[in-house]
Structures are given as structure tokens and as C-alpha cells.
Amino acid sequence: MGEWSPEVLEVLEAAGWTAGRRVDTADWRSMFEAVGIVMHDAAEVFLQEFGGLNVSIGGPGINRAREPFVLNPELAWGEDDRFSEWSDSLGRRLFPLGELDGGRFFLGIDEGSEICLVETRVASFGPMPHAMENLILGVMPRWIDDEHQ
């Protein structure tokens, strides 16, 4: 999905990612569509390549701690109201990707391939492939919901 720095490539490969990786997303699609959250194209493309990865990182990052994350939408099951409400509030369709920092936060993706931290507020790690670099290298996400408080 992009040219990675050697450090990011090493972390992704250690988590099981390989170039050309393809994961079946049908179960995640049907699971969330049953509660009204539709998997858009950007979510499908992302999850086909990265779905199921468990990225075990920690320690200091660029301007925040590096936190482990798991790219499995099932980890956000039961949070459909949170994703639906933020999607409506922000005017973006957020699809669940998994969790950050052992479930303290959820990760989602919008139709423009922007990866977001979803909690009581929403912050952006930026669009792919920069978002993956920011997640792995410990770059603070930018709060995007301030005008929607």
C-alpha cells in the first residue's frame, strides 16, 4: 500500500504482513452490515492487506508512546453506536479496524483511507500509507472533532 521506512517494514513483517497479502473480509462485512455499518471500499482494501495483524510495539515514539494495535474489526464489536454516531457527527463513514493500546481506543477508517482513533473523541493518524507510519513510529494523532463538541 506504500513505500515503508525500513523500521516500519520490519515491524509490519514481524506482525505477519507481506507484500501482496490478501485476507477475506466477508465475515467482517456481514457482521457489521447486520448492525447498519457498511464496509466502504477503503475499509475493504485496507483490511484485505492488513486485517488480522497484531502489531506488538512499545516504548517512546516521535511525540507519543508507541502503542500496540490489533487490526481485527471484531474487537470493536458492540461499539457500532459509537462508530455510527461519530460517522454522522463528522460526515465521514467510519468503519471499525480494531483496537489500539489493549482496547483503550478503537481504530477506524473513513472512505478517504484516513485512519482515526475513535473513543469519546476522534483523532486522525492521517491517510494511508502515512497513517501506518504514524501509528508505528509514535506520532500523535490530530484531534478532528473539536468543532463537533
Give DSSP secondary structure letters for 94-128. Answer: -EEEEEETTTTEEEEE-TT-EEEEESSSEEEEEET
pLDDT score of 139: 97
β-pair partners for 115: 109, 126
The residue segments making up the domain with residue 130 are 38-144
Average pLDDT per consecutive 10 residues, the chain (149 residues; last block may be shorter)? 84 96 98 96 98 97 97 96 95 97 96 96 96 97 70
pLDDT at 145: 62
Number of domains in the chain: 1
Residue 28 lies in a domain: no
Predicted confidence at residue 90, as pLDDT, reads 94
Neighbours of 32 (CB within 10 A): 21
pLDDT value, residue 1: 45
| Whole-angstrom distance, CA of residue 114 vs CA of residue 105 | 16
Residue 3 confidence (pLDDT): 79
Is there a domain that residue 111 lies in? yes
Q: Does 56 map to a domain?
A: yes
Residues constituting the chain: 149
The predicted structure's pLDDT at residue 112: 97
Q: Exposed e or buried b for every residue in 55-70, given b needs 16+ CB within 10 A? A: bebeeebeeeebbebb
Q: Which residues contact 117 (CB under 8 A, 6 or more apart)?
A: 100, 105, 106, 107, 123, 124, 125, 141
| DSSP letter assigned to residue 22 | -
Residue 17, domain member (yes or no):
no
Report the DSSP beta bridge partners of residue 98.
107
Q: Rounded CA gap, 115 and 12, in Å?
A: 16
pLDDT of residue 92: 94
The verdict on residue 8 lying in a domain is: no
CB 74 within 8 A of CB 86: no
Q: For residue 11, is it within any domain?
A: no
Residue 14, in any domain of the structure: no
pLDDT for 2: 55
